[in-house]
Amino acid sequence: MTLPLIRESQVALRNAATSWLEQDPDLETREELTQLLETAGDVNEPGVELADDDASDRAAAWRELRDRFATRLQFGTAGLRGRQEAGPNRMNRVTVGQAARGLADFLLARGDYPSVVVGYDARVNSEVYARDTAEIMQAAGVRVTLMPSQVPTPVLAFAVRHLNASAGVMVTASHNPKWDNGYKVYLGDDDNGSQIVPPSDAEIAAAIKNVAETMRVNELPRNSEYQFASETLIDSYVLETARVLGTEPTDLRFAYTAMHGVGWETFARVLDEAGVARPVTVDAQLQPDGQFPTVDFPNPEEAGALDLAYETASAADAELIIAHDPDADRLAVAIPDADGSWRRFGGNDIGKLLGWRAAKLLAAAGETGTLATSLVSSPALSVVAKRFGLNYVETQTGFKWISRAPEIAYGYEEALGYLVNPETVRDKDGISAAMAILDLAFAQAAEGKTLADLDDEFTAEFGAFESRQVAIRYADAGQLPAVMTKLRAEAPTVVGAVTVAEFYDFETAEAPANILRLQLADGTRIMIRPSGTEPKIKVYIDAVSTDGSIAERREAAAAQADAAAEAMHALLTN
């Protein structure tokens, strides 16, 4: 229920904002909050409510104060992530300070002499938040190691394992819009450097809440006598990641974009170590820049995000494009099409090819292991695992789960995340994944073939797999539970013209999840889940065909996927 803007709630909001101002160490957020309070002005007269459709500046200011101060940014299994502004429901130096002290208290309660390694990317305030974290946690009694400069997220994840740290903190909002920032937490020891999962997330959240309710950030002890990580740590990551390349490099021409992030410096070192010639670079996006001047949303999946890469690659007559998101934990790949345009591989396309590569490597070494993916990713990986006699695990969405699969040899999720080197990094890693893609591309080039040919070979060997997504946006996130409840109560028996052969509710699973699965009679699988960050219901559709030629298989699978997508859109909007 939305807090009504009446006199009593306005007084509480104004008091909360005033208290915030008194402990905020950041001049910029103090100034913008002071201006917001001035615009909001006086509270209402008794019995008068400010209407939500009031278009005045004063009303807008009060609604903004309500959004920032009526709740707080939730610390969950993804840590913290949000817009950078003043208030407990935003990312800023106060929420980061509270998180740092709360995480320190959590670690100190877990055991004696805990340690943490802290990293940061190039987003606005990332280094500030990292240094605040280092000073506050060091003063609280946690041994802190701060990365010496901005680094990709996979390097921080590597550092947690390499240094045998109790925990890791990465200040990044990954591929979020430029005005966001975030705070990602990893745990060492028995958690092997993976991201946090329940119950740790709730325990850390409780510790942060206690700090927010009983302490003031400007009064928290600080200690700047933490240590900096040695450059040899990054050297070790570079060396281990270069070893992912098992094929002799060829003269394959490829282009690269860092999407204004921090991937290039480390990726370039890995290429040099592996003996790979430097790519043609998208210079306008090569250097770190938290303002992201050439892209509205620095996510390789977004329409238009790779346009400069396409232009650069075409001008250089390149045969491959490799793109990282701003913190380089995700990888995008594109190849030329016959008509001169570019074909961007989807996450499932890359995922199945890298899974096939992993299976072949295990077979060649006479080893076994687990191929893992999320529930909403393509079932293609399960077919590969079965063919090679490997274990296969489907997890809840997110690498915090995928990375914990027993005996994991390879894992991926459809949102461009790939884990190809689990002994080095227990998280998605766009840099090692790029080396694995180059490994495949070089092997193909040595035989006069391309990644498109490899995709054809996969289709001939395992079948054609086609994926589609449908996202239905609602006016309010509060509508999502009702939609899911209705789907459970009135389970579809037909999708379009195809019968639903099986309906499964993952709320009844051993590890419950708010996901529904429809298995259609033609083999198409449909997964339905509410978004955790937006007022959307997301539908993931996967179709497969194993009959006929390569072209016929693809045409049949595409037709099934398209028909299911159209039918699900109609079902959720009527």
Looking at the annotation, which residues are catalytic?
174
Q: How far is residue 200 from each of residues 73, 76, 399, 441, measured CA to CA in Å?
A: 17, 9, 16, 41
First to last CA, the chain: 25
* Cβ atoms of 151 and 120 closer than 8 Å: yes
Which regions of 213-319 does DSSP assign to beta strands (E)?
227-228, 254-257, 280-281
CB count within 10 Å of CB 491 equals 13
Report CA torsion sign: 401, 402, 403, 404.
positive
Nearest Cα to Cα of residue 375 among 345, 412, 350: 412
Compute the distance between CA of residue 103 and CA of residue 116 in angstroms, rounded to an integer.
10
Length of the chain: 574
Q: DSSP code of 190?
A: G
For 573, the token pair is 């909007």
Separation of alpha carbons 328 and 262, rounded Å: 7
**Cα dihedral 403, 269, 319, 553 in deg (nearest 10):** -10
Residue of 414, 257, 246 whose CA lies nearest to 320: 257
| Secondary structure (3-state) at 229 | coil
Nearest to residue 104, comparing CAs of 207, 214, 191? Answer: 207
Return the ∠ at Cα 437 (arms to 431 and 442), rounded to 5°: 125
Interior CA angle at 133 toward 132 and 138, to 5°? 105
Long-range contacts from 569-572, C-beta under 8 angstroms, 24+ separation: 569/470, 569/472, 571/492, 571/495, 572/470, 572/472, 572/483, 572/537, 572/539
Are 75 and 38 spatial neighbours (Cβ–Cβ below 8 Å)? no
* Interatomic CA distance for residues 56 and 60, integer angstroms: 6
Cis peptide before 198 (omega within 30 of 0): no
**Contact predicate 166/134, CB 8 Å:** no
Separation CA 257–CA 173 (nearest Å): 18
